[in-house]
Amino acid sequence: MKAGSIPASQSATGRAAPGLAARARRHFAVLFPPLLSAVIGLGLWEGVVRWLEMPSFVLPPPSSVVFVMIEYWGYLVSQLAWTVMAAAVGVLIGISLGIIAGAGIAMSGIIDRMLTPWLVIIHAIPKVVVAPLFLIWFGFGVQSEIFFVVTFTFFPVVVATITGLKSADPEVLLLVRSMGADRGQVLRKILFPSAMPTILSGVKLSVSLAPVGAVIGEFVASNQGLGHLLIRAVGDMDTALAFAAVTLFSIFGVLLWRAAEFVEGKLLPWHPSQRGDLASNRK
Amino acid sequence: MTEQTAHPSPAASGSATNGAIVLDQVGKTYGSGEGAVEAIRSISLTFAQGQSVAIVGPSGCGKSTLMRMIAGLDDLTAGSIRIGDRQVTGPVRDIGVVFQRDLLLDWRSVLDNVLLPAEIRGMDMAAASKRAMALLEELDVAGFAKHYPWQLSGGMRQRVAIARALLPSPHLMFLDEPFSALDAMTRDQMNVLLQQIQAAEHVTTLLITHSILEAVFVADRVLVMSGRPGAILDDITVDFPRPRKLELRETPAFTAIVGRIREQFVKTGDLVG
């Protein structure tokens, strides 16, 4: 990994610049392979579509997807905003319910035995299949969509919360009990903090599932959002617009994942996964 | 297999003053009837306040059980335990415990780890912080107060655990094999530190260890325990002046005490002479 460090004397700007130049070179070395791969991939796509003279409604070339994206930018963004809003409301409800249910199950044997069978059964139902039922129960509109996001995002958090709360070090629990801690203190000061990494990994999974839940909800029960736009674009054979929506959606998904990782890093600076003291072992 | 030769404990009948710890005919039997296992047989002892006591004995001799019973974390099946004039019936709050694993909380800085007992007991946090810093200073880890446990070495982590145990100025500090996970040099260092802080804090200390050297170096009094059922084989007063230096371990007087203890274990067959 030392390939990027070239002697400072080669830099024309003298002593201060080598650091900067070397860093730029290193960034370039990291970014170059994926960029090159993207250019080749999109170039091939563009070339094959044009060479075979494929009709645009079957497979639009990347260039026309970009043009459509620019042309409909305002519309696309407003639909994305709708999806994001529904996903955000749903995921917040899902996470809150998940943590509450998980804590109840982990802390009480009675709640565990009463609630867990229900959760297992409900979780086993393929949620996409019952999506149309939501239309019947909650009607056409954003409430159905939000409910759908909740069912998508609830389970990863429940499971993570239960696992996290049950994995506290028994000797630590003995120690704080010898200090005279009551149940509430044990929960606040030991169980929740030590469960945090596990809970957050569940939350991260939920956050990445939320937009998917929202879009599926929009397929079925909404006249707004990227999901609805996608259905309509496909109905109109406007495949380029559908591609533009999908592209925007996946860019948003990547940004969301990055944001979740960033928040995780801020909340868990002490955790082995965040410390970075072993990062140099990675090639 | 073993005769009980423990010193008679005159204070056991109720003349205990301030913080003395009195064990009167304490016994512990697991299970009942045919399958009953007698872990500890009728131990009577008195620890004066401020005394530093070490218990040595083979694995499984009931050292940790004895300690847990004094801390009120385990029930006795015979006899009674008093701390000062209070009978031990449930967990005793007035005890600081240090285990073999330091059990520091990864998500708290060193200082916040030391402050944990203060938070749990609702102590005045400003005063507690001052005391925490003073303890860390005494234990020579004050420079790491803002660091997280993972940034510290094993010896430093265990010093933080000792500071945490001492923070509420407990009557009694229990150390259950606190240094057995450390390397030999760090362990020597910790022994010196422990007897320093024990003298400075004037806290009654009960150290459980496998190391005869450690016991004699750190303590005012060494109790030698036999294997199952646990009983006191020997009760030795160690009156070397403090502060003690590691060179002490080379002196004939020190070696004589170590030899006397080792002999006990050879006699019982716990140690091959």
Residue-wise pLDDT tens digits, B67-96: 888 888 888 888 999 888 888 887 777 789
- Looking at the domain that runs over A62-268, which CATH code has it been given? 1.10.3720.10
φ, ψ for residue B199 (rounded to 5)? -70, -40
Give the pLDDT confidence score for residue A42 in this predicted structure.
92
Whole-number pLDDT of residue A222: 84
Interface of A with B (CB under 8 A): 169, 171-172, 174-181, 185, 189-190, 193-194, 196, 268-272, 275, 277
Task: Tell me the sheet residues that pair with B29.
Answer: B38
Strand partners, B230: B40
The CA-based diameter of chain A, rounded to the nearest angstrom, is 77
The pLDDT value recorded for residue B88 is 85
- Chain segment A59-118, per-residue pLDDT in tens: 899 999 999 999 999 999 999 999 999 999 999 999 999 999 999 998 888 888 888 888
Taking each continuous run of H as one helix and of E as one strand, the counts in chain B are 7, 10
- Which two three-digit tokens encode residue B263? 């002999």
Contact at CB, B150 and A268, closer than 8 angstroms: no
pLDDT of residue B160: 95
- Residue A105 · residue A115 · CB < 8 Å: yes
Note the pLDDT of residue A178: 83
pLDDT at B83: 84
Q: Which two tokens stand for residue A146?
A: 């939000």
pLDDT (0 to 100) of residue A18: 61
- Give the CA diameter of chain B: 57
In angstroms, the CA B246 to CA A282 distance is 44
Q: Which residues partner with B87 through β-bridges?
A: B82
Residue B205: its H or E element: strand B204-209
H-state helical runs in B122-173: 125-138, 154-166
Token pair of B79 as six digits: 């006899």
DSSP 8-state assignment for residue B230: B
Tokens of A169: 């070090």
For position B54, what pLDDT does the model report?
93
Please give the pLDDT value at position B6: 40
- Residue A191 per-residue DSSP state: I
CB contact under 8 A, B73 and A181: no
pLDDT at A29: 84
Q: Given B101, B121, B150, which is nearest A180 (Cβ)? A: B121
CB contact under 8 A, B120 and A175: no
CA B59 – CA B99 distance, rounded (Å): 16
| Cβ proximity of A114 and A101 under 8 Å | no
The amino acid at A107: M
User: Tell me, what DSSP letter sits at residue B220?
Assistant: S
> What percent of chain A shows pLDDT beyond 70?
91
Angle at B95 between CA B91 and CA B99, to 5 degrees: 95
Task: Report the range of poorest mean pLDDT among A2-6, B150-154, B177-181, B192-196.
Answer: A2-6
The pair of three-digit structure tokens given for residue A109, joined into one six-digit string: 């044997």
Overall average pLDDT of the B136-151 stretch? 92
Start-end of CATH 3.40.50.300 domains in chain B = 20-30+37-94+172-268
Write out chain A residues lying below 8 Å of B65, CB-based: none
What is the reported pLDDT for A13? 45
Q: Which residues in chain A are closer than 8 Å to B93, comparing Cβ atoms?
A: 179-180
How far apart are the C-alpha atoms of B186 and B177, rounded to whole Å?
14
Residue bearing tokens 């001052």: B130
Write the pLDDT tens digit of every residue in B6-55. 443 333 333 334 678 899 998 888 888 788 888 888 889 898 888 899 99
Cβ separation B106–A181 shorter than 8 A: no
- Two tokens, residue B95: 């005890």
Q: Note the pLDDT of residue A98.
A: 95
Q: Smallest CA–CA separation between B94 and chain A, in Å?
A: 8
Letter for the amino acid at A257? W
Comparing alpha-carbon positions, the chain A residue that sits nearest to B71 is A178
* B→A interface, C-beta within 8 Å: 71, 73, 91, 93, 95, 97, 99, 101, 103, 105-107, 116-117, 119-121, 148-150
Measured CA distances, A207 to A90, A152, A271 (Å): 10, 10, 21
B65-83 exposure pattern, b = at least 16 Cβ within 10 A, e = fewer: bbbbbbbbbeebeebebbb
Distances (CA, A) of A107 to A117, A129, A154, A175, B91: 16, 33, 18, 19, 22
Chain B partners within 8 Å of A193 (Cβ): 105, 107
Q: B20-30+37-94+172-268: what CATH class?
A: alpha beta
Taking each helix axis from N to C end, the angle separating A225-235 and A73-107, rounded to the nearest 10 degrees, works out to 130
Picking from B177, B131, B174, B183, the residue whose alpha carbon sits closest to that of residue B156 is B183
The pLDDT, as a whole number, for residue B18 is 61
* Average pLDDT, rounded, for chain A: 85
Backbone torsions φ then ψ of B56, nearest 5 degrees: -115, 150
Low-confidence ranges of chain A (pLDDT < 70): 1-18, 276-283
Would you list the domain boundaries of chain A? 8-51, 62-268
Given the DSSP bridges, would you call strands B86-87 and B78-83 parallel, antiparallel or unpaired?
antiparallel
CA distance B72 to chain A (A): 9
Q: What is the pLDDT of residue A130?
A: 80
Give Cα separations from A158 to A115, A194, A203, B81, B271 (angstroms): 11, 16, 9, 45, 53
Burial class (CB in 10 A: 0-12, 13-18, 19+), B7: middle
- Using alpha carbons, select from B230, B219, B198, B167 the residue that is nearest to residue B28: B230
A42 residue type, one letter: L
Residues of chain A found within 8 Å of residue B120, distances taken between Cβ atoms: 176, 179-181, 185, 189
